[in-house]
Homo-oligomer: A and B are copies of this chain.
Amino acid sequence: MSGIDALAARIRADLGPDQVLTDRQQLRTYECDGLAHYKVIPALVALPRTAAQAAAVVRACAAAGVPFVARGSGTGLSGGALPHADGVLIVTSQLRDILEMRPADERAVVQPGVINLQVTQAATPHGYYYAPDPSSQQICSIGGNVAENSGGAHCLKYGFTTNHVTALEVVTPDGELVRLGGAAPDVPGYDLVGAFVGSEGTLGVATEVTVRLTRLPETVRTLLAAFHGTDQAGAATSAIIAAGVVPAAIEMMDALSIEAAEAAVHCGYPAGAGAVLVVELDGPSAEVDAQFDEVTALCEKNGAFEIRVAADDTERQLIWRGRKSAFAAVGRISPDYIVQDGVIPRTALPEVLRRITEVASSQGVRVANVFHAGDGNLHPLVLFDDRVPGEAERAETVSGAILDLCIEYGGSITGEHGVGVDKARYMPRMFSDTDLDTMQLVRCAFDPDGLANPGKVFPTPRLCGERPGRRQGAFEHEGAEVF
């Protein structure tokens, strides 16, 4: 019996025969996540139904020295759930129960396979919702959100997944079930919940997630402001934040993404717009009404030539439809595209957008911009046609140059999609060797054998078991500047 066959037999014994897949056709279903140009077929897939079963799978992997990768719904865009060819893929989709719903305490306890939107659906009758809202919220899992510290349009006001998870049960890479964090606002000891959220599967597998529930706002008001170009829309964004208003969301689309959305869903955005902002305010009616007037005035002052206010929920949905469809809609105007994800200081928006256009022009490719303007989280869509020789390479060049711009302006190589397999090579542009070594101290502490999602996040896995050499004077900050 080969090593994998023996492992499969052990896991079958623990989980039951139906919970382990080894048939190549079945395995192929899991060969990629949302970043579909990376494909690897795993050696086997395990589908635990309980936390104890998940721990048993990890223990079996640890005993056999076989790598493992956890996967939720597989919607990630950085290849974080890309399988390992000689490893086990642990699919959490059968850990799908909402274990507790405690609105009076503003907490819910869910299994990792629960779909993001289901938490909100279960909380809504009690007057609450789960705030982080990735675009994929109808299908992405809470476990995946934890791994990638997922964001969404409303993270400007409400923060990322890390701000909404207060406790975790996780399987450590040696197969132990431990509790991290608690429900109190400040739990003693190290904040390992914070370290685990966003660790992209490299510190273990979450088996239970305690999330904060957020009170449904009394009022939500949404407007669409049309500008002649992104400079004006960027200036309006900065002006709104500078005025002390924190909208629930400020989303920007440029001319090319408007064109794509229009072609796909006929959202009827104002003709001739070089950029639009979708601004949403929520909260107590008294506050929202006052701030809404302020936002409207600031948009006008910064050059908005048309402002539409959603009169009801239907109109609100219509405004959002264009924004939410934009990624898919780009398929209407380009056969292929790369979704990039980077962060810049909000105040640098107009300048960076201009420079992205310059880079794109120099390579003869087009870039559509549709993004979370409020927190400077860019999502440039680099368009190309894979059938045209050299075009994919030029698109890759532009995509990489955009990350360099993000770093140059003091931002980050990822806003919410994670590093995964896709951006590990960019980490040294943002962090010094010493900084990366320090992060990997934690990796080595939890996973000395490097079995938990190897090859993700870190460009060069460091050998565990030794402290990094002390480099006198080697301290050099290549990282993010303040913004």
Let me know if A218 and B198 touch, CB within 8 A. Answer: no
Q: How far is the CA of A414 from the CA of B195 in the complex (A)?
A: 21
A418 within 8 A of B: yes
Q: Chain B residue with minimal CB distance to A342?
A: B184
A442 within 8 A of B: yes
Q: Given A178-B475, A188-B418, are A483 and B411 also a contact pair (CB < 8 Å)?
A: no
Residues from chain B with a CB closer than 8 A to the CB of A471 are 176
Let me know if A184 and B286 touch, CB within 8 A. Answer: no
A277 within 8 A of B: no
Q: Given A179-B477, A290-B287, are A187 and B442 also a contact pair (CB < 8 Å)?
A: no
Let me know if B419 and A189 touch, CB within 8 A. Answer: yes
A185 within 8 A of B: yes
Instruction: Produce 1/0 per residue, A132-172, CB < 8 A to B.
Output: 00000000000000000101000100011011000101001
Q: Given A155-B185, A415-B186, are A483 and B174 also a contact pair (CB < 8 Å)?
A: no
Instruction: Produce 1/0 per residue, A362-394, CB < 8 A to B.
Output: 000000000000011100000000000000000
Let me know if A427 and B188 touch, CB within 8 A. Answer: yes
Q: How far is the CA of A415 from the CA of B183 in the complex (A)?
A: 12
Residues 17-34 of A contacting B (Cβ, < 8 Å): none
Residues from chain B with a CB closer than 8 A to the CB of A176 are 434, 438, 468, 470-471, 475
Residues 179-234 of A contacting B (Cβ, < 8 Å): 179-180, 182-195, 197-199, 203, 210, 215-216, 218
Instruction: Produce 1/0 per residue, A254-266, CB < 8 A to B.
Output: 0000000000000
Residues from chain B with a CB closer than 8 A to the CB of A193 are 194
Stretch at the interface among A102-110, A117-125, A323-331: A102-110
